[in-house]
Structure 1
Amino acid sequence: MSPQKKLFTVVLLVAIGAGLGYGVARWTTGPSPAADGQGASSQSPADDRKVLYWYDPMVPQHKFDKPGKSPFMDMQLVPKYAGEADASGVAVDPRVAQMLGVRTATAEKQRIGASVQVPATVQLNERDVAILQARTAGFVQRVARVAPGDVVAAGAFIAELLVPEWTGAQQEFLALRRTGDAALTAAARQRLVLLGMPTALVQQVERTGEVQALTTVHAPTGGLVQELMVRPGMTVSQGMSLARITGLSTVWLEAALPEVQAATARVGEPVEVTLAAFPGETLKGKVTSVLPEASSETRTLRVRADLPNPRGQLRAGMFAQMRLGGPAEEALVVPAESVIRTGERAIVYVVDQPGRFTPVPVRIGREWGDKLEVLAGLQAGQQVVASGQFLIDSEASMQGLLQRQAGPSAAPASAAASAASQGASSATVHQGEGRIVGLTPQEVTLDHGPVPSLKWPAMQMGFKLAQPGLVDSFKVGDKVQFTFRESAEGYEVTRVQRDPKGGAR
């Protein structure tokens, strides 16, 4: 074989070997990132729509000219296709919506009760209280065998008092009566009344003609003896309290009503009460007062109702369920979590078609459990977004859709505020602590703790480096304190130092 043919054969074999090696390498390692990027940029997964840019759904205001991993979160960038921004609604890739937990619900007519059932407790009626006091100074001779907590009947004996001051006044009255002087007798009798002597005792002295130094104290009403402040042999002074008795013919039922349902409670309205102690029995009462002060901790109003207690079976402290308000009525309701309150208006996102959502302002009414009444803006049967609205709302804000809905005058102001906010954000410096988990010449990946200035939770994310060589003296595993800021390409670290405390997360 000639030298030329040998050379040609060697070159051919080398070329065949290189081709086989390249093919094997491609088969084992897969396509290169560059090839993937070109393929992704040239077409969408479903069709040949043009990709305008890529973005992170969690930080949609930042745009990227090629696919890859988000510098903010541990997730891939999402493509934005031509034509989506010009549509009337917000388009979200169904796969992204599923990944972020977007869930829908149906606006439907339901009968929601104008009545409401709330827990309540039985209390003593503080309007039916009798306090027994000594009308003059004296000594306690006898006390009834009762104690606080006992129930007594009306007119029951409570205590017997010896009042020496009354003795002289009664003797003077009887002496003047024997003289026959009607004027003096009437004046002496009036003096007995002014000394605090009960009318029945004065009449007894007139009838018997004998001095009565002892007087008895009786319960003016039947009920619960809450306090008994006398014992035999005690000295009492004028005005001293002897006992406190609370009537039991009626009791209070006090409930904590959520303030959003305050309209259901009106003074004089009837209530129905059921108690666990008496299953199957429904008692009737009426609202006597809605206290004027709401609880700042529980956001509830105290509603008080009077409940008859003829058999005395209702005891203070019993647990009950109180139903108040009118009959149920039909209303259009949606899940309460589907409504976004902006401060100026309430918005729900309506599903136009799979993957496309439109913000609709609504007027909301009453809230019942996990449902919210819609007075205007929706129709029964419409699908609304019940969870994951943060993604759709961010996209709508980025497109200026909400500003266009609010009117021409609102859009420039909103745009100016947004620009000012972005300018302020880019100039703001934030600080954090964390541990280095990855290093490249252009990026550092940190497992950092919460960042209060941005309301970030603890997470792991990558940061661009503001200057090359900023972390040359560090290694993976070092615990550091770092300063970063927002730039056009994402968040970048401007300063890194070792954590003097150890800084472990």
Structure 2
Amino acid sequence: MNTKHTIIALSIGAALLGLGVVGGRMSATSHETTAAEPSTTEKKVLYWYDPMKPDMKFDKPGKSPYMDMELLPKYVGDSTESSGVKIDARTLQNTGMRQATVERLSVSQSIDATGVLTFNERDVSIEQARSAGFVERVWSLAPGDIISVGQPLAEVLIPEWTSAQQEFLVIRSSGDASLISAARERLLLTGMPRSLISELEKTGKISARQTIRSTQGGVIQELSVRSGMTLAAGQTLAKINGISSVWLDVAVPEAQAAAVQVGGKADVALAAFPGVMLSGKVSAILPSLNDASRSIKVRVELPNRDGRLRPGMSAQVKLAGLSSNAALVVPSEAIIRTGKRSLVMLLNGENHFEPVEVSLGAEVGDKTIIVNGLNEGQKIVASGQFLIDSEANLAGIKTKLTSDKVASAVQTMVVDDAEATIKEIDGQQVTLTHGTFKIIGMSAMTMAYPVANPGVLTGFKVGDKVRVTVHQSDDGLVVERLNKTKAQGGRP
């Protein structure tokens, strides 16, 4: 019995041992296969780069010299400088990206803007005292009152008129026509109106008082006369602004200013009169630009026969712009404006995108005219382009420029200079304490700047007083050259 149990136990042990061996072989085979897989999928590293400065390449991994972060590898097959950046389909779907086609349309520009009613500054009269005298009476008026033509303003006593009128009456009794004419001219020179002179000739009654009346109807803008005051000859009593017409000052964005023309039609909707559409014409385009709003002022003249239009009222205005031939247009939302240039994301293939710099024309509704950079029928990104632009920047993609754009960029490079002191020199960077760059618009400060080439720093040391010349690049200011100041024996 014991022998039989022993045989059974030995058989079970052998079976378990066999299973263990097989399992071990299977486990070993599995590990070998897993270990071998990386060797079949491993990519070759071209270089390492800092994602914040993708143009700088490094031959080994490590910390970025610019940012506190690890360098990233760029693998063979990942270089996308010629074909753009590729975004996987799931990411694009999550961003809700929409495509658009570059179209060629016949464009008729109209400009939507806002405006404010103001007084017509050409319709102004100045009421003055033509002779020295004393104010005996003033009518009950105040600035802002609306008056009609001939409204009495003040009654003035003019002593000079008394002797002049007496002399005229004596000469008139002589019957000498030439002397009478000369005496009449003298009355005119004292400031006496022709109407009073005619009355003097008819009645022979001397009057040294004059009632000064408004020569036009409108709004009293200024009233500078009070009872009892002394008037000098030519002193202004009132300024009256006519209201038979008003001006509408319209703020037109700088980018659309070229489409406005004098004589163009303007459709005006005032907030004070819903549903009422007024029509006017552009009477002037003012030469100055508003620095705060970056807009020009366009003046529209509107008739105001019933006096309902009051200065200060706001309005929505549609100005008829210049009509042009067919032009390339894209949705305005597709344009990425960086401040120095304008980009669109061009779709080159399936989920492949490339940033392209474009020259912009006027905005027409929700579309923008493309002057240069795109061709009709090309596919671009209408929404979600900021994500793709970010991916392109991280991948070090170069923006596509036409030869004309490159030449233009060189010609329009902004250059400026200022006095500075070298505080530190570190490789291809120099730390400067500099004065104001007036052309570029940067105030005085201490800051590190890259140099255009290593030779710029040759012969200079910390503490040198220099004249620094810089230019504005997409990444900031770059030092073009350094010149020692005259005090140190260098060129001024």
Same fold (TM over 0.5): yes
Q: Which amino acid aligns with 1:379?
A: E
SS of alignment partner, residue 288 of structure 2: coil
- 1-side partners of 2:449 and 2:367: how far apart? 32
Aligned counterpart, 2:244: 249
The one of 120, 129, 136 equivalent to 1:134 is 129
Say if 1:276 and 1:359 are closer, same or farther in 2 by CA, change over 3 A.
Answer: closer
SS of alignment partner, residue 142 of structure 1: strand
Cα deviation, residue 242, structure 1: 0.8
Cα deviation, residue 150, structure 1: 0.6
Say if 1:147 and 1:396 are closer, same or farther in 2 by CA, change over 3 A.
Answer: same
SS of alignment partner, residue 207 of structure 1: helix
2:376 matched to 1:382? no
Aligned counterpart, 2:344: 348
CA RMSD of aligned residues (A): 4.4
Matches within 5 A, 1:78-477: 80-82=75-77, 85=79, 88-94=82-88, 103=97, 105-109=99-103, 114-326=109-321, 332-335=329-332, 338-339=335-336, 348-360=344-356, 362-368=358-364, 371-376=367-372, 377-380=374-377, 382-384=379-381, 386-387=385-386, 388-393=388-393, 395=395, 397=397, 402=400, 406=403, 427-428=428-429, 453=448
The answer (yes or no) to whether the contact 1:94–1:354 under 8 Å persists in 2 is no
Say if 1:278 and 1:100 are closer, same or farther in 2 by CA, change over 3 A.
Answer: closer
The answer (yes or no) to whether the contact 1:53–1:81 under 8 Å persists in 2 is no
Cα deviation, residue 395, structure 1: 3.7
Aligned counterpart, 2:41: 43
- 2-side partners of 1:428 and 1:69: how far apart? 18
Q: Which amino acid aligns with 2:101?
A: A
Aligned counterpart, 1:498: none
- 1-side partners of 2:218 and 2:302: how far apart? 15
Cα deviation, residue 426, structure 1: 5.1
The answer (yes or no) to whether the contact 2:47–2:58 under 8 Å persists in 1 is yes
Q: Which amino acid aligns with 1:392?
A: A
SS of alignment partner, residue 291 of structure 1: strand
Equivalent pairs counted in the alignment come to: 389
Q: Could you list the per-position Cα deviations for residues 252-279 of structure 1 after superposition, in whole angstroms to 9, with x for gaps in the alignment?
A: 1112111101023222222111101001
The answer (yes or no) to whether the contact 2:284–2:298 under 8 Å persists in 1 is yes
The answer (yes or no) to whether the contact 1:41–1:66 under 8 Å persists in 2 is no
Q: Could you list the per-position Cα deviations for residues 439-481 of structure 1 after superposition, in whole angstroms to 9, with x for gaps in the alignment?
A: xxxxxxxxxxxx97589xxxxxxxxxxxxxxxxxxxxxxxxxx
Q: Could you list the per-position Cα deviations for residues 133-154 of structure 1 after superposition, in whole angstroms to 9, with x for gaps in the alignment?
A: 1011111122222111110011
- 1-side partners of 2:191 and 2:449: how far apart? 76
In the alignment, structure 1 segments of 5+ residues that lack a partner are 1-8, 24-30, 414-423, 431-450, 456-505
Say if 1:54 and 1:320 are closer, same or farther in 2 by CA, change over 3 A.
Answer: same
Say if 1:180 and 1:322 are closer, same or farther in 2 by CA, change over 3 A.
Answer: same
Q: Which amino acid aligns with 1:220?
A: T
Q: Which amino acid aligns with 1:391?
A: E
Cα deviation, residue 86, structure 1: 7.9
Q: Could you list the per-position Cα deviations for residues 198-237 of structure 1 after superposition, in whole angstroms to 9, with x for gaps in the alignment?
A: 0001000001111111111111100001111112222111
Say if 1:190 and 1:396 are closer, same or farther in 2 by CA, change over 3 A.
Answer: same
- 1-side partners of 2:184 and 2:289: how far apart? 54
Cα deviation, residue 39, structure 1: 5.6
In the alignment, structure 2 segments of 5+ residues that lack a partner are 1-12, 411-424, 432-445, 451-492
Say if 1:243 and 1:39 are closer, same or farther in 2 by CA, change over 3 A.
Answer: farther
The answer (yes or no) to whether the contact 1:139–1:162 under 8 Å persists in 2 is yes
The answer (yes or no) to whether the contact 1:42–1:51 under 8 Å persists in 2 is no
Say if 1:298 and 1:251 are closer, same or farther in 2 by CA, change over 3 A.
Answer: same
Cα deviation, residue 368, structure 1: 5.0
- 2-side partners of 1:87 and 1:130: how far apart? 70
The answer (yes or no) to whether the contact 1:56–1:78 under 8 Å persists in 2 is no
Say if 1:149 and 1:362 are closer, same or farther in 2 by CA, change over 3 A.
Answer: closer
Q: Which amino acid aligns with 2:41?
A: Q
Say if 1:101 and 1:73 are closer, same or farther in 2 by CA, change over 3 A.
Answer: farther
- 2-side partners of 1:208 and 1:40: how far apart? 124
- 2-side partners of 1:337 and 1:291: how far apart? 32
Q: Which amino acid aligns with 2:369?
A: E
Say if 1:74 and 1:206 are closer, same or farther in 2 by CA, change over 3 A.
Answer: same
Aligned counterpart, 1:478: none
The two structures have a TM-score, normalised by structure 2, of 0.66
Q: Which amino acid aligns with 2:99?
A: A
The two structures have a TM-score, normalised by structure 1, of 0.65
Q: Could you list the per-position Cα deviations for residues 31-65 of structure 1 after superposition, in whole angstroms to 9, with x for gaps in the alignment?
A: 9xxx89x9667427xxxx76656656444346688
- 2-side partners of 1:227 and 1:249: how far apart? 19
Q: Could you list the per-position Cα deviations for residues 55-104 of structure 1 after superposition, in whole angstroms to 9, with x for gaps in the alignment?
A: 5644434668899999957799466343x548841243528976997955
SS of alignment partner, residue 114 of structure 1: strand
The answer (yes or no) to whether the contact 1:363–1:374 under 8 Å persists in 2 is yes
- 1-side partners of 2:37 and 2:68: how far apart? 24
Q: Could you list the per-position Cα deviations for residues 2-22 of structure 1 after superposition, in whole angstroms to 9, with x for gaps in the alignment?
A: xxxxxxx9xx99xx8xx99xx
Say if 1:381 and 1:204 are closer, same or farther in 2 by CA, change over 3 A.
Answer: same
The answer (yes or no) to whether the contact 1:40–1:67 under 8 Å persists in 2 is no
The answer (yes or no) to whether the contact 1:89–1:359 under 8 Å persists in 2 is no
The answer (yes or no) to whether the contact 1:105–1:334 under 8 Å persists in 2 is no
SS of alignment partner, residue 292 of structure 1: strand
Cα deviation, residue 131, structure 1: 0.7
Say if 1:103 and 1:50 are closer, same or farther in 2 by CA, change over 3 A.
Answer: farther
- 1-side partners of 2:238 and 2:400: how far apart? 70
Q: Percent identity?
A: 39
Q: Which amino acid aligns with 1:378?
A: N
Q: Which amino acid aligns with 1:43?
A: T
Matches within 5 A, 1:46-61: 52=46, 57-61=51-55
- 1-side partners of 2:233 and 2:321: how far apart? 53
Q: Could you list the per-position Cα deviations for residues 266-322 of structure 1 after superposition, in whole angstroms to 9, with x for gaps in the alignment?
A: 222221111010011111111121111112222111111111100011111111112
- 1-side partners of 2:430 and 2:168: how far apart? 97
Q: Could you list the per-position Cα deviations for residues 351-386 of structure 1 after superposition, in whole angstroms to 9, with x for gaps in the alignment?
A: 122342345554432235774322452324613372
SS of alignment partner, residue 392 of structure 1: helix
- 2-side partners of 1:369 and 1:157: how far apart? 53
- 1-side partners of 2:39 and 2:305: how far apart? 83
Q: Which amino acid aligns with 2:392?
A: I
